[in-house]
Homo-oligomer: A and B are copies of this chain.
Amino acid sequence: MKLSSTGLVRDEVGADTSGPVMRALGLIDTILRGVGQVMLQNNSYAGLLFLVGVFYNSALFGIGVLVGTLASTLTARLLGADRAQIRDGLFGFNGALVAVGILYFLHPGLLTWVCVVVAAACSSVLMAAMLNLLRAWKLPVLTAPFVFTTLCVFLATARFGRLHSTELLPSAGLPQGATVEGVVTGSTLLHGLFSGVAQVFFQASPVTGLLFLAGLLVSSRLGFVAAIAGSLIGALVAWGMGAAEAAIFSGAFGFNSVLTAIALGSVFLRPNMASLAYAALATAVTPLAYAAVSALLEPVGMPAMTLPFVLVVWVFVLAIPVFPRLKAS
């Protein structure tokens, strides 16, 4: 092990990691990187600041993030997944989101916590499955395991009487043409800008959003700028197309755009003029994808979560090799 610019410690292949202190430090580092990977940051300091941001808003969700990350990480360890990938937090971030998602939409109780642990464990199986599935295209798995695992749990509330959803889970209905609701002001956009960043972890607090941005700044200046631009573009496009003021205020149209902007603006493309325009296009259509996925899931009463981000980034990353003006990084 040695000190690392991206975290507490860093395993080297063949290094001596036998000491219990080092092993504990290593696990903490792994967990924090897992939290960091929720915003595509392989950096335990970023993960720490994200965790602080969640705890600032809610201790329940903070504990959930730790339990979920631990459960999914240990599952991957027990099944013998690649050590380097585990240490990079790749088997942690979906568990983190599974936990906070379940605690957000289901009433906490023993069975809900059992669901958190089992679903976080399953998110690692799904992560492994999708790593294998998408390998041929070098396509990142992103938060797809979180989305599919939690959708499964939430859908099951319609058959299992002991799973109780909170009032935050949308109720099933038939989508109707929208009308413009409420008046968007500067304060709507400002609140939406920071809440949009916070909503990546289901937190609607602007302060949490600021702490998340601090975490991004520690890890990647480009990621920091992309997150702000993404949240702003998401809110502006939604406003321009006539989304409800309350939804823009809460950051609902921001968090997927934040993730799209980070992914295409700072992670998967080498920056040049073409890739900047490309990332901007992807970010600008993400609110549309959010609206579409959200309407698509309305008859089953399910939230879109980060599925729009996953779909948009998959499409835009898959297209890169066909467009030589863009360079994958």
- CB-CB under 8 A for A160 and B174, given A128-B318, A137-B133, A292-B151: no
Interface of A is mostly: helix
Residue of B nearest to A82 (CB): B322
Count of chain copies? 3
B128 and A155 contact, CB distance less than 8 A: no
CB neighbours of A118 from chain B (8 A)? 281, 284-285
A294 at the interface (CB under 8 A from B): yes
A176 and B181 contact, CB distance less than 8 A: no
B161 and A178 contact, CB distance less than 8 A: yes
B314 and A152 contact, CB distance less than 8 A: no
How far is it, in angstroms, between the C-alpha of A220 and the C-alpha of B281 when the chains are bound? 38
A24 at the interface (CB under 8 A from B): no
In the complex, per-residue mask of A153-176: 1 if CB is within 8 Å of any chain B CB, else 0: 101111111111100000011111
CB neighbours of A172 from chain B (8 A)? 174-176, 299
How far is it, in angstroms, between the C-alpha of A101 and the C-alpha of B146 when the chains are bound? 33
A175 and B129 contact, CB distance less than 8 A: no
A179 at the interface (CB under 8 A from B): yes
A241 at the interface (CB under 8 A from B): yes
- CB-CB under 8 A for A131 and B177, given A161-B243, A241-B163, A243-B159: no
- CB-CB under 8 A for A126 and B315, given A80-B324, A137-B132, A299-B172: yes
How far is it, in angstroms, between the C-alpha of A235 and the C-alpha of B23 when the chains are bound? 41
Residue of B nearest to A159 (CB): B291
Q: List 9 A-B contacts (CB under 8 A).
A: A118-B281, A129-B316, A153-B292, A155-B175, A159-B294, A162-B240, A172-B176, A174-B299, A174-B301
